[in-house]
Amino acid sequence: DIQVTQSPSSVSASVGDRVTITCRASQSMSSFLNWYQQRPGKAPKLLIYAASNLQSGAPSRFSGSGSGTDFTLTINSLQPEDFATYYCQHLYTFGQGTKLEIK
């Protein structure tokens, strides 16, 4: 099975900052990597699918990139509603999550 390692586990940032979250796989996942946002007490929501495709309704400040074993979720110009936990997912495996906190 492919192992997926997400980093960092937590990050502090301020409104307006740019943040990058990474998922690394133990072997190639091609472009088959998705990203979710989970706000406290809420269900996860799909943000990015197939590495770089923005889900309908997701703000354009979110972007995804990467292929093979290394993938990145970038959030430009952080907004207050972006402070949440982010997960990557490949097949049956989720990353460990990255909690984005307000500095």
Binding site for another protein (CB under 8 A): 30-32, 34, 36, 42-46, 49-50, 55, 87, 89, 91-97
Task: Show the CA angle centred on residue 95, arms to residues 23 and 47, nearest 5°.
Answer: 75
Closer to another protein by Cβ: residue 20 or 38? 38
Q: Minimal distance in Å, beta carbon 25 to another protein?
A: 13
Q: Minimal distance in Å, beta carbon 74 to another protein?
A: 19
Closer to another protein by Cβ: residue 60 or 92? 92
Distance CA 72, CA 66 (A): 6
Evaluate whether 71 touches 64 at the Cβ level (below 8 Å). yes
Closer to another protein by Cβ: residue 12 or 53? 53
Q: Which residue has the tokens 């007490």?
A: 41
Closer to another protein by Cβ: residue 83 or 94? 94
User: Residues near 42 by Cβ (< 8 Å), separated by ≥ 6?
Assistant: none
Nearest CA to 94 among 19, 22, 3? Answer: 3
Q: Minimal distance in Å, beta carbon 16 to another protein?
A: 28
